[in-house]
Structure formats: structure tokens, C-alpha cells
Amino acid sequence: MNFQPLGNRVLVKRVEEATTTMSGIIIPDNAKEKPSRGEVVAVSKEVEILTKGDQVLFGKYAGNEVSFDDTVYIVLDVDDVFGIIN
């Protein structure tokens, strides 16, 4: 996949959340929310704050989903990113 975001945008791949709670209860698929955590896959030339590989938090309904090679990514505006996870 070769995708270069334009403007103040980044391409993010969602990081899946745990499927069980700390007490061992399994969370069914229909009860899970879309994760709001992801890994930056590509960054536009205008974005200086984020780099490829950064783990970020973003809004639950932010961005636009796109698919490449059967993988779903999200194109996010930098303003929709809440912060970097260390």
C-alpha cells in the first residue's frame, strides 16, 4: 500500500481493544465499541507533530474509513487526534 495523505491529515490503523475484561469476562462482538486508539501509518508533509509508528488517541466518530488490501484505515485530520500514547 502506498498512500500519501494531503493537507493536515494522517492515515491511522485502528488498534484492537482487548476482548476480555480484567476479571476474565469475554466481551461479545456486538457489545464492543470501535476502538479510538490507533497507529499512524502515513503522515502528510504538512504535519510535523506526528510520525509514522506513533500510537494515538482520536475521536470515536472522527475521520473517514478507507480500505487497502483488505485492511481498514482511517484518514484523520490532525485536529481530530487527541494525543500521542507513550
pLDDT of the residue at 4: 93
Q: Phi-psi region for residue 69, left (φ > 0), alpha (ψ -120 to 50) or beta?
A: left
pLDDT by residue, tens only, the chain of 86 residues: 689 999 999 999 988 765 565 676 766 655 455 668 999 999 999 999 999 999 999 988 899 999 998 899 999 999 999 999 98
What are 32's three cell numbers? 464492543
Return the beta strands (E) in the chain as ranges.
9-14, 37-43, 55-58, 64-68, 71-77, 81-85
What pLDDT score does 8 carry?
Answer: 96
- What pTM was computed for the model? 0.79
- Assigned fold of 1-16+34-86: 10 Kd Chaperonin, Protein Cpn10; Chain O (2.30.33)
At 85 the pLDDT is: 93
